[in-house]
Amino acid sequence: MAYKIIDRCVGCGMCRKICPVACIAGRPRKLHEVDRQRCIDCGACGRICPHGAVLDHLGRLCERIRRRALQWEKPLFDYERCMSCSACIDACPANCLAVTYSQDTQDRKAYPYLADPTACIACQFCALECPVDAVAMKAEADMDETQKKSLDGPFASSV
């Protein structure tokens, strides 16, 4: 498996900076290279590369997705379904999820939420690994107001 950078690479370094496991090496303006042993197939390099220079784990050319235009997908949690098992938090290679809970001792549930939205690389691993499918991925640009608010966790709207 593993992703691969082809010679269209101009050495801009965007992939190297975003790779959550730091497995891309390369000097500025030189061809970059993926350490195939350590690549986790998260796809972030392929989504970010402005020059169409990344092949995915099946050898297909990755399509750039506009991050600034909020086209990258982010996790939306179904808190009714969620069983607080924290598998999503552990699955996240960017460590951008955390739990939150209310100080109200009647509600003793721990809720996962996107604590560091700018770090999210849209890899979907959280959704993939959630055993009860309580995570749905959606591009922020396509979210309605309630969904956007819910990104800040279950208690954000009540503040």
Partner 1 sequence: MGHASMGKIMWVDLGRGTIKIESIPDTLYQKVLSGVGLAAHLLYERIPSGADPLGPDNILGFVSGLLTGTGSLFTGRWMVTGKSPLTGGWGDANCGGNFSPAIKRCGVDGIFFTGISPRPVYLWADKGRAELRDATELWGRDTVETEEILKQQADGRGLRVACIGPAGEKQSLIAGVANDGGRMAARSGLGAVMGSKRLKAVALSGGQRIPVHDRETIKTLSQQCNEAVQFHPPFLNGIMMAYTGTLMRLLPMQMAFDGMLYKLMLDKYGTASLNQIMVEVGDTPIKNWKGSNEDFDRDRSVNLSPEIFTDTMVVKYHCYSCPLGCGGLMAKNSAWSGGHKPEYESVMALGGLLLNDDAESIYTLNDMLNRAGMDTISAGGTVAFAMECYEKGLLTRDDTGGLELTWGNSAAIVQLVEKMIRREGIGDLLADGSRAAAGRIGRQADRLAMHAGGQELGMHDGRYDPGFALHYCVEPTPGRHTIGSQMYYEMFRLWERVPELPDVSLVYTKGSKYESEDDKISAAAACSRFMNVLNGTGTCLFGAFLGVERLPLFEWLNAATGWDRSPADYMAIGERIQTLKQAFNVKHGVDPKSFKANPRTLGIPPQTAGANAGRSVAVDAMMRAYWQRFGWDPATGKPGEAVLKRWGIKTKPSD
CB nearer ligand SF4, residue 86 or residue 100: 86
Compute the distance between CA of residue 69 and CA of residue 31 in angstroms, rounded to an integer.
27
75 binds, among partner 1, ligand SF4, none (CB under 5 to 8 A by kind): ligand SF4
Interaction between residue 77 and ligand SF4 (CB under 6 A):
yes
Contacts of 74 (CB under 8 A, 6+ apart): 114, 117, 120, 122, 137, 138, 139, 140, 143, 151
Strand 4-5 relative to strand 24-25, pairing: unpaired
Compute the distance between CA of residue 54 and CA of residue 5 in angstroms, rounded to an integer.
5
Near ligand SF4 in 116-155, by CB under 6 A: 120-126, 130, 132, 134-135
71 binds, among ligand SF4, partner 1, none (CB under 5 to 8 A by kind): none
Q: Can you read off the two tokens belonging to residue 114? A: 């996107």
Q: Which residues bind ligand SF4 (CB under 6 A)?
A: 3, 19, 21, 23-24, 34, 39-45, 75, 77, 82-88, 91-92, 94, 96-97, 112, 114, 120-126, 130, 132, 134-135
